[in-house]
Chain A
Amino acid sequence: MSDQHSSALAESLAARFGETLTLSTVRNETTAELAAADLIAVATALRDEPEFRFSELVDLCGIDYLGHGQTEWDTESISSTGFSRGVEGQAMGRFNWAERPRGNNEPRRFAAVIHLLSIAHNRRLRLRVFCDDDTLPVVPSLTLIWPGVNWFEREAFDLYGIIFDGHPDLRRILTDYGFVGHPFRKDFPLIGNVEVRYDPEQKRVIYEPVSIEPRILVPRTIRNDADLMQAEAEAADHWREN
């Protein structure tokens, strides 16, 4: 997959689909963002048209963009008492269910990300479909185009609660029978809600509210000063030995 390959793909996608796709190519990886309503038509064309021939759907996963780009540790401005201590914040390791963050400043939270592979042309393409409604995220199902997407869609439904319209059998797949909630959402606590143990008195396995405290060891930090290239050059320059 060379540079020309990827840009050629982006060009032919732009020529074929025009305004439907928002394209970007970074590091030879082409990403196309599109509206949920266009997904079926675009996917069918991508699979069937000789120019694209994306015969395999390699991967589909959900993403929850809640809290994207938020940090817990202020590294740029100093107050009179120094830098912040990095102990507050809303990372999912820090709260239990009752204290989960509810505010949502992202315009759209949920997206399904699809990775396609064309064996004939040796190309990959990433599609991203944002769900319009945060409370009821819906994306059309691709099961009629690539049957292999079936379990991937079930997984995204299970973990993120994204509903795939037209899926023949949208059940939970990875979580326990009778599980409540969608555990990979950013407002779902890392410690979970229930824990399970065998109760010798009742002689059965019982569910109880979690007893562990949420905690986090390393605060989430964003640093823009971490210039990797400069660090590499400094390390290569043996000024200490000279």
Chain B
Amino acid sequence: MQEIRNYTMNFGPQHPAAHGVLRLIMEMDGETIVRADPHIGLLHRGTEKLAESKPFNQSIGYMDRLDYVSMMCNEHAYVKAIETLLGIEAPERAQYIRTMFDEITRILNHLMWVGSNALDLGAMAVFLYAFREREELMDCYEAVSGARMHATYYRPGGVYRDLPSQMPQYRESPWHKGNDLKRINSWREGSMLDYLEAFTNDFPSKVDEYEELLTGNRIWKQRTVGIGVISPELAQQWGMTGAMLRGSGVEWDLRKKQPYAKYAEVDFDIPVGVNGDCYDRYLVRVEEMRQSNRIIQQCVKWLKANPGPVMVKNFKVAPPTRFEMKEDMEAMIHHFKLFTEGYCVPAGETYCAVEAPKGEFGCYLVSDGANKPFRVHLRAPGFAHLSSMDTIVRGHMLADVVAMIGTYDLVFGEVDR
């Protein structure tokens, strides 16, 4: 009889189910995984080292490019760390705007996740539908910052500018005209907050549509129920956070437990799973979208009622307005110093974490009093999650590895930094 031995298989780094540039070396016994060794770093850009060579503000844009599916949450952690060391606090309106955009980002991320994870497991339709709502929310990114993804909207001391009073509209073109044009512009008659209000009223029904496609779907359940079970103890040992931890039944959410921005003022619930398998994590993330929708609604209501400044009035960190610069020498000097040299952050160190859609995104910032950080370390949730891959997938089938990569919600921009 022929002897059958384990063999080694290479997966990636260019594989549609690898969500970027993951390379997995797997030792297989037939279709069963004996050992999985993820090779990462193919997208390593040395963000932390680059940040050490630039004034503080110039690195905000790099944060967008870490987890490029949840851009503003990354900015939030970095900006919050700078603010902590400076000892300044953003105005209330800016904090509400940040809360709102963090939740918009969470919906953006989870839509991308539910679509691509379903695509990995063989359901094509969800991906196409998910991009419908993503498009609507990315228009909000564009309206406030001019960029659809890499916004650089949060700044130390607040946000770059106030929400626009007019939502940009589609213009007539051979593809959009007549009643069609009227329909797609119907939400865009008023301000961005009106647009978001219309969106949030509509969005729960869209989440119902995704659930219709997946939650009761027999194939979806066969691929996810009982796959990649993580016990609460295991999740904590491996440093898991976010939906990975909540899927295992641990009620832990930084927005509730260590509130930042305005999360203490808004009302929302934390969904938790029971079994800690891929299906429970799916349910947790879907419910998080509904909760995010609730938070956005509350923020929109508050922001409509309370106009005010969105940036601290402190020329050491925030630039003066063009108007002030025209008639005030001192404002001119501040502007010049701020954009040539930046500001000096008092010596010290801090670790600031936010509940990013993927888990705890932390920024450990060390300053020695200079205008550039001495050390920035970015704690990416995906890095900790992926490191547990070998432990979790041992004994699973090859196809379950794809389900597992999907449920980790990996984005290699943040894993590799």
Q: Which positions in A face B, CB cutoff 8 Å?
A: 1, 26-27, 29, 31, 55-59, 61, 63-64, 68-69, 71, 91-93, 113, 115, 119, 122, 124, 126, 146-152, 155, 172-176, 183-184, 190, 216, 218-224, 226, 228-229, 231-232, 235-236, 240
B88 located at the interface, meaning its Cβ lies under 8 Å from any Cβ of chain A in the complex: yes
Given contacts A1-B258, A151-B383, A231-B316, contact A63 B237 (CB under 8 A): no
Query: Can you report 15 residue pairs joining A to B where beta carbons are below 8 Å apart?
Result: A58-B362, A59-B239, A59-B362, A68-B374, A69-B347, A69-B368, A113-B377, A115-B351, A115-B364, A119-B252, A148-B237, A148-B388, A151-B383, A175-B41, A183-B49
Chain B proximity of A177: nearest CB distance (Å): 8
Given contacts A69-B368, A174-B417, contact A226 B344 (CB under 8 A): yes
Stretch of B51-59, B108-116, B183-191, B205-213 contacting A (4+ beta carbons < 8 Å)? B51-59
Name the residue among A152, A183, A184, A226 with the largest chain B CB count within 10 angstroms.
A226
B34 located at the interface, meaning its Cβ lies under 8 Å from any Cβ of chain A in the complex: no
* CB neighbours of B315 from chain A (8 A): 231, 235
Bound together, the chains give a CA A174 to CA B348 distance in angstroms of 28
B87 located at the interface, meaning its Cβ lies under 8 Å from any Cβ of chain A in the complex: yes
B238 located at the interface, meaning its Cβ lies under 8 Å from any Cβ of chain A in the complex: yes
* CB neighbours of A113 from chain B (8 A): 364, 377
Which residue of chain A has its CB nearest to the CB of B234?
A147
Judge whether B351 and A126 touch: CB under 8 Å.
yes
Bound together, the chains give a CA A119 to CA B371 distance in angstroms of 35
Please give the number of chain B residues whose Cβ is less than 8 angstroms from any Cβ of chain A in the complex: 64
Judge whether A232 and B312 touch: CB under 8 Å.
yes
Q: Which positions in B face A, CB cutoff 8 Å?
A: 40-41, 44, 46, 48-50, 52-55, 84, 86-88, 236-241, 250, 252, 257-258, 312-317, 328, 340-344, 347-351, 353, 360, 362, 364, 366, 368-372, 374-375, 377, 379, 383-384, 386-388, 391, 416-417
* CB neighbours of A148 from chain B (8 A): 237-240, 384, 387-388
* CB neighbours of A55 from chain B (8 A): 236-237
Given contacts A174-B416, A235-B313, contact A218 B239 (CB under 8 A): no
Which residue of chain B has its CB nearest to the CB of A149?
B239
Judge whether B236 and A56 touch: CB under 8 Å.
yes
Which residue of chain B has its CB nearest to the CB of A73?
B341
Chain B proximity of A119: nearest CB distance (Å): 6
* CB neighbours of B374 from chain A (8 A): 68
Judge whether B314 and A235 touch: CB under 8 Å.
yes
Judge whether A124 and B351 touch: CB under 8 Å.
yes
Bound together, the chains give a CA A226 to CA B54 distance in angstroms of 18
* CB neighbours of B353 from chain A (8 A): 58
Given contacts A150-B387, A232-B314, contact A220 B328 (CB under 8 A): no
Judge whether A240 and B344 touch: CB under 8 Å.
no
* CB neighbours of B372 from chain A (8 A): 218, 220
Bound together, the chains give a CA A108 to CA B258 distance in angstroms of 34
* CB neighbours of A222 from chain B (8 A): 344, 368-371
Chain B proximity of A73: nearest CB distance (Å): 9
Judge whether A147 and B52 touch: CB under 8 Å.
no
Chain B proximity of A154: nearest CB distance (Å): 9
Q: Which of B53, B316, B364, B384 contacts A190 (CB 8 A)?
A: B53
Given contacts A59-B351, A146-B237, A240-B328, contact A173 B53 (CB under 8 A): no
Bound together, the chains give a CA A43 to CA B312 distance in angstroms of 41
Bound together, the chains give a CA A152 to CA B372 distance in angstroms of 25
